[in-house]
């Protein structure tokens, strides 16, 4: 597999295609402004060693699974497409290496995505059938004792205790969560509507 490096540059208004045919290194010392990044590859096709993205759009043309954005500085970026198991923001083990400030995920489908060390109020999250739990780690006991359908309470919500304390929010797809947990999106929503700190 070939390697493509974009580093030591500042680009504006560019369209960058991240395909499945190469590994793309974005950074270090890379700043992208008002660029569109089209993500056609898997997480293994993208490496971000400290790049800054300002007012950029990320279009996932296939589901991006398990990608850590912890070394990316994301400022007021927009995300579209499907993202599962992605982490956005600063991880506790690598302070100062990445962040998320503002951003629009309202047109994205997120499932099991965490937002770390950030101001949730500055982010736009997708609406139902996605839902966002605010301060899930701080509230894991409360969340795990709710009358969840399927195995959501003992497996998913109790598992929040293992997440980094800096997890400011976590977004799920009710459709995907219901399928994994042996229930329905409607049964999940019935519980969510009775809990504070949930964005539907």
Sequential pLDDT tens for the chain (200 residues): 899 999 999 999 999 999 999 999 999 999 999 999 999 999 999 999 989 999 999 999 999 999 999 999 999 999 999 999 999 999 888 888 999 999 999 999 999 999 999 999 999 999 999 999 999 999 999 999 999 999 898 888 889 989 999 999 999 999 999 999 999 999 999 999 999 999 99
CB 52 within 8 A of CB 31: yes
What does each C-alpha distance from 51 to 25, 116, 125, 153 come to in angstroms? 10, 17, 23, 38
What tokens appear for 133 in the block?
């739990």
* Triad 87, 88, 94: Cα angle to 5°: 85
Asked whether the whole model's pTM tops 0.85, one would answer yes
CB 86 within 8 A of CB 67: yes
Distance CA 37, CA 59 (A): 6
**Within 13 A of 144's CA, how many CA atoms are on the CB side?**
14
């Amino acid at each position: 597999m070939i390697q493509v490096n974009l580093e030591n540059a500042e680009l504006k208004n560019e369209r960058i295609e991240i395909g499945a045919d190469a590994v793309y290194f974005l950074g270090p010392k890379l700043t992208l402004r008002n660029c569109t990044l089209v993500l056609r590859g898997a997480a293994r096709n993208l490496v971000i060693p400290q790049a800054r993205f300002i007012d950029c759009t990320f279009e996932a043309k296939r589901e991006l699974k398990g990608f850590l954005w912890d070394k990316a500085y994301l400022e007021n970026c927009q995300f579209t497409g499907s993202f599962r198991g992605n982490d956005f923001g600063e991880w506790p083990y690598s302070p100062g290496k990445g962040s998320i400030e503002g951003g629009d995920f309202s047109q994205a489908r997120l499932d099991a995505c965490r937002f770390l060390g950030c101001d949730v109020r500055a982010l736009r999250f997708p609406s139902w059938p996605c839902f966002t739990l605010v301060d899930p780690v701080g509230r894991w006991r409360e969340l795990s004792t709710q009358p969840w359908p399927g195995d959501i309470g003992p497996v998913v919500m109790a598992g929040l205790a293992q997440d980094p304390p800096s997890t400011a929010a976590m977004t799920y797809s009710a459709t995907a969560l219901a399928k994994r947990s042996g229930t329905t999106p409607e049964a999940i929503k019935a519980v969510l509507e009775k809990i504070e700190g949930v964005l539907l």
